[in-house]
Copies of this chain bind each other. A is one copy, B any other.
Amino acid sequence: AHIVVLPGDGIGPEVASAGVAVLRAVAERFGHAFTFTEHAIGGDAIDRFGDPLPPQTRDALLACDAILLGAVGGPKWSDPAAKVRPEQGLLAMRKLLGVFANVRPLKLHPRTAALSPLKPDRTAGVDLVFIRELTGGIYFGAKTRSETDATDECRYSVEEVERVVRHAFELARTRRRKVTSVDKANVLETSRLWRSVATRVAADYPDVALEHQLVDSMAMHLLTHPADYDVIVTENMFGDILTDEASVLAGSLGLSPSASIGGPGAGVYEPIHGSAPDIAGQSIANPLGTILSAAMLLRHSLGLADEAATVEAAVDHVLEHATLTRDLGGTATTHAVTRAVLDAIQ
């Protein structure tokens, strides 16, 4: 299998190399042949090629089996008036690959639950997965700007909604058989379309329960009874906000993986944390979010479920027995935590 590695900006290169080390260890232990090539994206690509998603990166993305991404962006490139911004590389990549389903599992490990801002009685039993629509909506709609006005159009087609909602129902079948579809159907036309498609698709899954939730009340319920949810599916902008809100429940952003999948080609796997430029280059970044993203890569893009489970078990072992990085209250370096995972894999 051929894997493209996009180290990106800030701590991106450090965590991406931890992910690669783990994938190499898996290849060795299970006798697979993985090849890796690194390509530029984001601020790094702007600096080197003047383009946040240069042609050689595009070509590589379209020709590989899976993509492991570190992180993108940073204050160096974040002037909103700048002509090219690192985030454009991310958005262009999502569109290019057609990865319409951004999957973010959220599960609490006892050791990190203690770091959650929520009281333990609220986070007990939380085990949910967000499916965020990733290639449509207001992110990709027409935009205008004049001296006096600006506009952004949010557009959804039946087809765009249907495929991501189906994805959620399929996933729910492998879990607790409950889908919560989040919209703002009391105000938005796109949300009324969303709700009607979700309701129609649900008829094909009589074994899965569907509930509709308004985005504002979802923002509350995520905090008041997060354990009630199984699979939550929503549109791009709402998903951006709600997945970040939910990630706080876990106690550390450093632990949460994500997968962007559903396109005809490769999927993109990345930790949900950002590029954290303030701690870049110090080897204190938490590699576990990227390592768990590598596990999702094994499962979803390479079909290697046992290998994925081995990585996840190794991370569980490390969370229980090893010294962790600073964000988890420890003193270990990125390398030491990665080493501990590698040891647990062999």
Q: Give residues in A with beta carbon < 8 Å to B.
A: 73, 78, 80-81, 85, 87, 91, 117-119, 122, 138-139, 141, 143-145, 147-159, 184-190, 192-193, 195-196, 215-217, 219-220, 222-224, 237-238, 240-245, 247-248, 253
Contacts and interface: CB of A to CB of B under 8 A. Distances in A.
12 contacts: A81-B196, A85-B186, A144-B189, A150-B189, A151-B190, A152-B153, A152-B190, A153-B154, A184-B237, A219-B245, A237-B237, A238-B241
A270 to B, nearest CB: 15
A224 B253 CA distance: 11
A155 B149 contact: yes
Contact of A193 (B117, B150, B185, B217): B150
A241 B215 contact: yes
Given A145-B189, A149-B157, 20 more contacts: A78-B186, A80-B192, A81-B192, A87-B187, A91-B187, A117-B224, A119-B119, A138-B138, A141-B151, A145-B192, A147-B158, A149-B155, A150-B155, A151-B189, A151-B190, A152-B190, A219-B219, A219-B244, A223-B223, A223-B245
A334 to B, nearest CB: 22
Contact of A196 (B80, B118, B193): B80
Contacts of A185: 80
Contact of A117 (B149, B223, B240): B223
Nearest to A244: B216
Nearest to A73: B186
B139 A150 contact: no
Contacts of A151: 141, 153-155, 189-190
Nearest to A221: B248
A182 to B, nearest CB: 10
B118 A193 contact: no
Given A145-B189, A145-B192, A189-B143, A224 B248 contact: yes
